[in-house]
Structure 1
Amino acid sequence: MSETVLALTGITKVYNRGLPSEVNVLRGVDLSVKRGEVVALVAPSGAGKSTLLHIAGLLDTPDGGEVAIAGARMTGLSDRRRTETRRSDVGFIYQFHHLLPEFTALENIVLPQLANGSSRQAAEARARDLLGRVGVAERADHRPAALSGGEQQRVAFCRALANAPKLLLADEPTGNLDPATSDRVFETLMDLVRSTGLSALIATHNLDLAARMDRTVHLDAGRIAMTP
């Protein structure tokens, strides 16, 4: 049986608990992602997909339920251990690249590796390798402002994979790009994920992109439903 890299069991999340404006965003979400599997998460705006991704990536805590990453339960971990797990085992990609503007493309990929204990030499070698894989090696010494939108997002992909995580979480990773660029950049992402054997949970509104992943799940009314 394939290893389960992400397991969410009975996840609940309530905002404004106890107030008249209380909102039950997640109502017992069960979801798993196997090793090497790419899962599309499709949800209408405001359905809680970003909240779910933040909980899966240990950026937020659920009000109920259990998160497990690579077989390890995350409940009760100290903030330090959660940070260590997030840094080493989870990669994040957002709709907006969030690259550090004062650093070059290369440096944006090197920095998370240094924070994770890599040497400068090893970090730069990996950064250059990743940039080469996504076709922007020649842009390594350029700052984000000198890169196109598609190039910036490719660098963000590399940064997310810098520490060789087990799990990639992406929230509308091509949503800020025009359709033609979105398609090319998404293909780059899929090639990168497949070549590294990553598990990925990718939120998208684009049903054409979702159809290119291994399976699709829908988040609606706080619960998960599989696509028929």
Structure 2
Amino acid sequence: MSDAALKLTGISKTYNLGRPNEVQVLRGVDLEVAKGEIVALVAPSGAGKSTLLHIAGLLDTADHGQVQIAGQDMTGLHDRRRTRIRRNDVGFIYQFHHLLPEFTALENIVLPQLANGAARKAAEARARDLLETVGIASRADHRPAALSGGEQQRVAFCRALANTPRLLLADEPTGNLDPATSDQVFAALMELVRGSGLSALIATHNLELAARMDRQIRLDAGKMTTA
């Protein structure tokens, strides 16, 4: 059994649109992310990176292959167990922040902690610490509409790490930002990840950002190669 944070073995996925329109998105993908490692997943649009991240994060299932998170085989788990692992062990970040518009930045980070059984006082303290780390503690009481795009995404980063996951999965986390803001926001993300000591698999088109991670891999035509 692997002690890697994430291990994918022989992952294949086909979307059946009706013959002859089957689309094989992933073709026997093998991937391992070590504990504390930040890996860049470089892939062109339509290469299957989102599908791969969803399978790795238990939001989707593979047709064939095995997913291990922190050495535990995820194959065949019932929905309740998969949900518990997603909530406790995996953090997700998407290109768009998906913050709840009726709640403040602080509340958006507190809510997933409360859902996970944390006491409100402790949840608020952690939320403030995370916002301080990414440099927007002064914006804690603002709702998403009053925040800039970069600030919104920083809040999303904090929310993803609120429950201290073991693994972070990010799909183009700065892809919706201008270059200058993207660089600043990515630096904040790296500070959060490095400071937390967790493992991360981050999909990006930006080769400059990819070069700042520990290792690069490439997904092309459904297969994994070294970038």
When normalised by structure 1's length, the TM-score is 0.97
Instruction: Look up the match of 1:165.
Output: 165
Residue of structure 2 equivalent to 1:74:
74
Match of 1:20 in 2: 20
Task: State the secondary structure of the residue aligned to 1:4.
Answer: coil
The residue type paired with residue 79 of structure 1 is D
Question: In the aligned structure 2, how far is the partner of 1:190 from the partner of 1:3?
Answer: 23
The number of residue pairs the alignment matches comes to: 226
Give the secondary structure class of the aligned counterpart of 1:201: strand
Partners in 2 of 1:143 and 1:37 — Cα distance?
33
Quote the offset at 1:120 in angstroms: 0.8
Q: Which amino acid aligns with 1:215?
A: R
Partner of 2:8: 8
Alpha-carbon distance between aligned partners in 2 of 1:53 and 1:106, rounded to the nearest angstrom: 27
Aligned to 2:190, the other structure's residue is in SS state: helix
* Separation in structure 2 between the aligned mates of residue 178 and residue 222 of structure 1, nearest angstrom: 29
Query: Once the two structures are superposed, what CA deviation does each residue of 1:140-184 show, in whole Å capped at 9, x if it has no partner?
Result: 110000000010000000000000000000000000000000001
1:118 is paired with a residue of what secondary structure? coil
- CA distance in structure 2 between the aligned counterparts of 1:18 and 1:149, rounded to whole angstroms: 40
Residue 185 of structure 2 aligns with which residue? 185
| Separation (CA, whole Å) in 2 of partners of 1:122 and 1:224 | 41
Letter in 2 for 1:210: A
- Are residues 1:151 and 2:151 paired? yes
Match of 2:196 in 1: 196
Superposition pairs of residues 73-222 of structure 1, within 5 angstroms: 73-222=73-222
Q: CA deviation at 1:20?
A: 1.3
Percent identical pairs in the alignment equals: 79
Look up the SS of the partner of 2:163 in the other structure: coil
Select between 110-119 and 157-166 the one with higher mean Cα deviation.
Answer: 110-119
- Give the SS at the match of 1:91: strand
Q: 1:38 to 1:126 in 2, by over 3 A?
A: same
Q: What's the CA shift for 1:221? A: 1.0
In the TM superposition, what is the alpha-carbon distance from 1:201 to its structure 2 partner? 0.2
Q: Which residue of 2 aligns with 1:31?
A: 31
4+ residue segments displaced more than 6 Å: none
The 2-side partners of 1:54 and 1:135 are apart by 29
TM-score in terms of structure 2 length: 0.98
SS at match of 1:114: helix
SS state at 1:164 partner: coil
1:102-139 per-residue CA deviation (whole Å, 9 max, x = no partner) reads: 11000100111111111111111110110111111111
Please give the per-residue CA displacement for 1:36-57, whole angstroms capped at 9, x wherever unaligned: 1000000110000000000000
> Unmatched 5+ residue regions in structure 2?
none
2-side partners of 1:57 and 1:186: how far apart? 21
